[in-house]
Amino acid sequence: MAFSFRRFAHAVAIWLLIALAAAFVGPSRAAADPLMPAPDPDPFYAAPADLDAHANGDVLKVRERPWHVYFPTSRVFEVLFRSTDSEGKSIAANTTYLLPSNHTPDAPLLSYQHIINALGTKCKVASKLYTSDPMNLILEMPGLNVALARGWSVALPDHLGPRMSYGAARLGGQITLDGIRAVKNVPEFMVTNSPVGMGGYSGGGMATAWAAALAPTYAPELNIVGAAYGGVPMNLSTMARALGTQPHIAFGLAAIALLGLEREYPDRIDVASQLNGYGRWLANWVINGCTNEAMFVGLYKSSDQLTDRRDYMDTPSVWQVLNENSLEFYDGIPKTPIFEWHSPIDGLIPVDAIDNTLGRYCRAGVQLFTMITPTPDHLSAAPLGMFQALDFLDKKFQGLPTARIC
């Protein structure tokens, strides 16, 4: 696989984002409002006035989009649906639905969670799909087209939510599950009784893993036959303690992550009021931007340059938020079989947190298979597990046994 600077930068940013969030919170100034994105100019994504009257997964709007060159044999739809944010409030989220021409009623449904590293609403999957810069979608196109060729329909949720809350892991799991509910609620999509599989890597894997763990209590009615995810950061607190404040090539993505966490937890994380002049300048560049803007303005910057505070990592509410978004600390157990892959030595995520979490799953009786990739880094592990993951899900859709370590 050719080196991808964007994938590398995203993976490094996962390491940095939590320490940066802790660096900018505290009581030293009066709290400021979070730096929210500009409203999406497309009225399709606007929440209806009666949003609170709907249940999770209720369909709010549906529209068909133009034929897409990346999915030449599929129809493309967008669905707006009701979901819930990290504080229990109703939100209008969206997913993109791909319906292949060879799909039959109640054939398999795959929910695939992409990496979305951005703060601007223009950067979500549904928007980027119809621009000249379709993010990581093009990198994972071969796997998605394998799924479509098998007759599976595919849902691509924008799992950061309407506020583009980059860094909020549990939110991604909830939106993923409600997106599955939503597409099942549209008769034209022919998946009302379809078995469901889920997949994703790195940040997308984090949303997938959370969806699998939350499903037994959040969406117990869904027939999820398998979840395949790789390179998942499972302990954000451990990452925070391992990090310093030195300049880094991927600091821009880390900066947008701390701003995204503030958007999701405005009563517990305060970033905006802690920024100095340079910090506010950088924030103004990225609050509506995508990966390229964040990488450009944050290149080899550090948290020390964005704030005048030096009492880092001392706010209990931040550590609580990190723990709440760390699967290692979540006591829920998936009921669906799991295919998980990662490299044996990953310099970007703590492998011991993966081992601890999966060990707990095994002891609880989860059907689990872990694949250790032959290359010792986060980046190259991504494609090495993609097609094995699809084969795992294919067997689960057919009701066939799969290899397992527990």
CATH number for the domain formed by residue range(s) 238-323: 1.10.260.130
Q: How far apart are CA 187 and CA 400, in angstroms?
A: 28
Between CA 67 and CA 72, with CA 68 as vertex, the angle to 5 degrees is: 90
Rounded CA-CA distance 122/288 in Å is: 8
Distance of CA 203 to the CA centre of its chain: 5
pLDDT at 287 over 80: yes
Please report the pLDDT score of residue 142 as a whole number: 84
Q: What is the pLDDT of residues 61-71, one digit of tens each?
A: 999 999 888 89
**pLDDT > 80? residue 12:** no
Domain boundaries, the chain: 55-235+334-398, 238-323
* Residue 255 contacts residue 20 (beta carbons within 8 Å): yes
Decide if pLDDT at 16 tops 70: no
Q: Alpha-carbon dihedral of residues 45, 46, 48, 53, nearest 10 degrees?
A: 70
The predicted pLDDT at position 11 comes to 43
Lowest mean pLDDT among 221-225, 291-295, 350-354, 369-373: 291-295
Do 385 and 373 form a contact (C-beta atoms < 8 A)? yes
Q: What is the pLDDT of residue 135?
A: 56
pLDDT > 50? residue 406: yes
- The CA distances from residue 38 to 35, 42, 171, in Å, are 9, 11, 20
Q: What is the pLDDT of residues 86-99, one digit of tens each?
A: 999 999 999 999 99
Domains 55-235+334-398 and 238-323 agree in fold: no
Question: Residue 361's pLDDT is what?
Answer: 97
Answer whether residue 323 shows pLDDT above 60: yes
Q: Render pLDDT for 365-401 as a digit per residue (tens, 0 to 9).
A: 999 999 999 888 887 888 889 999 999 999 999 999 9
Work out the average pLDDT over 207-217.
98
Round the average pLDDT of the chain to a whole number and report it.
87
Asked whether the whole model's pTM tops 0.85, one would answer yes
User: How many CA atoms does the CB half-sphere of 151 hold within 13 Å?
Assistant: 14
Instruction: Identify the pLDDT of residue 377.
Output: 81
User: Higher pLDDT residue, 269 or 9?
Assistant: 269
CA 340 to chain centre: 16
Half-sphere exposure of 74 (CA within 13 A, CB side): 25
Class level of CATH domain 55-235+334-398: alpha beta
> Left, alpha or beta for 102 (phi > 0: left; psi -120 to 50: alpha)?
alpha
pLDDT at 17: 45
Residue ranges with strand state E in 212-334: 224-230
Instruction: State pLDDT tens for residues 98-144.
Output: 999 999 999 999 999 998 888 999 989 998 887 766 555 666 788 89
List b or e across 44-83, with b for residues whose CB sees 16 or more CB atoms inside 10 angstroms. Answer: ebebeeeeeebebbbbbbbeeeeeeeebeebbbbbbbbbb
